[in-house]
Amino acid sequence: MAERPADSRVAGRPLGVLRAAACGWTTHDVHGLVRGAPRGRRVFPANEFTWTGPDRTVLFDTGYAPLPWRTGPAGWAYRRLLPPVVPTGGTLADAVDTDAVTHVVLSHLHPDHVGGLGAVPHATVLVTEGVARSIARPRLLAGQLRGLLPEGLADRLRVVPDSAFGPAPTGPLAGIGLATADPFGDGRTRLVRLPGHADGHLGLLVEDRVLLAGDAAWSRDLLGRERDLRLLPRAVAHDSGAQRGTAERLLALERAGVRLLFSHDEHRTGVDLLADDDEDRGGP
């Protein structure tokens, strides 16, 4: 594992550690998603990210649930469109010390992001108002399956209200136009609204260095090609116009020096993704 020098700090404080692991994957013909893309099926991992700091461990998304799913006809329809593969030893419980997780941040409610929630039954789950609405009333057409949500989830939810989000006065988000909230009050892990893909879709800015961007794009190489999306991915988006605006802001954030990590790119495992070494950076 690549180790960061002991004196690596931001604003005079030691950095936490950020790692990623794929908890299953699906495949899809990229040409069927985006006009002009090369033909051929691509593997899209269902990644979780774990940030470990001095006083908490925050999980961003949870990957796929182990198969088989008990989700009825709705789950059958979803699996026909995006067939999940979850190998033995490839679940969240295999990738993460689940007892150490104190908080889960859900980017949104799609099956490849919520499947491991049952493995962290004692963690507080942070969601936006939009995601809370989806939890209360999951909809198949929005890619949401009630059967994947564990019992007792409502008791663990911490809904971050829309009023808590606002422009960042300082740091890399200042002037970009992405609303942010700091539920922990220390600036290490800031919630960032990334509207478009799903109702209440959320990212996580880690240490002002890396933005976990969820499904704001299918992959980094497709970011900025939202106008080329075909009818189906455009139709299932919560707000395709907002999705294009989010992409433009993310590209500006990347130009400002923030690394973008998307949920369905391939990321190295067993390394600290906050390390400065370029070989530790994710992406296809």
Residue 241: give its domain's CATH number.
Answer: 3.60.15.10
Return the minimum-mean-pLDDT range out of 22-36, 91-105, 263-277. 263-277
Residue 268 lies in a domain: yes
The whole-angstrom separation of Cα 94 and Cα 113 is 16
Give residue-wise pLDDT tens across range 146-187: 999 999 999 999 999 999 999 998 999 999 999 999 999 999
Question: Any idea what DSSP says for residue 113?
Answer: H
For residue 58, name the pLDDT band (cuts at 50, 70, 90): very high
Residue 94 lies in a domain: yes
| pLDDT of 153 | 95
The whole-angstrom separation of Cα 86 and Cα 83 is 10
Q: Which domain holds residue 203?
A: 14-274
Residue 143 lies in a domain: yes
Return the minimum-mean-pLDDT range out of 5-19, 133-147, 177-191, 240-254. 5-19
Give residue-wise pLDDT tens across range 189-234: 999 999 999 999 999 999 999 999 999 999 999 999 999 999 888 8
| pLDDT of 95 | 96
Residue 2 lies in a domain: no
Nearest to 51 by CA among 241, 225, 190: 190
Return the minimum-mean-pLDDT range out of 72-81, 84-93, 249-258. 72-81
Residue 7 has pLDDT above 70, yes or no: no
Residue 7 lies in a domain: no
| pLDDT of 276 | 56
Say if CB 49 and CB 92 are below 8 A apart.
no
- What length does the chain have? 284
> Can you give the pTM of this predicted structure?
0.92
Query: 232 or 268, which is more confident?
Result: 268
For residue 5, name the pLDDT band (cuts at 50, 70, 90): very low
Number of domains in the chain: 1
The whole-angstrom separation of Cα 204 and Cα 242 is 18
| pLDDT of 234 | 86
Give the mean pLDDT of 117-146.
93
Q: For tokens 């020096």, what's the residue?
A: 257
DSSP string, 220-244: GGGTT-GGGB-HHHHHHSS-HHHHH
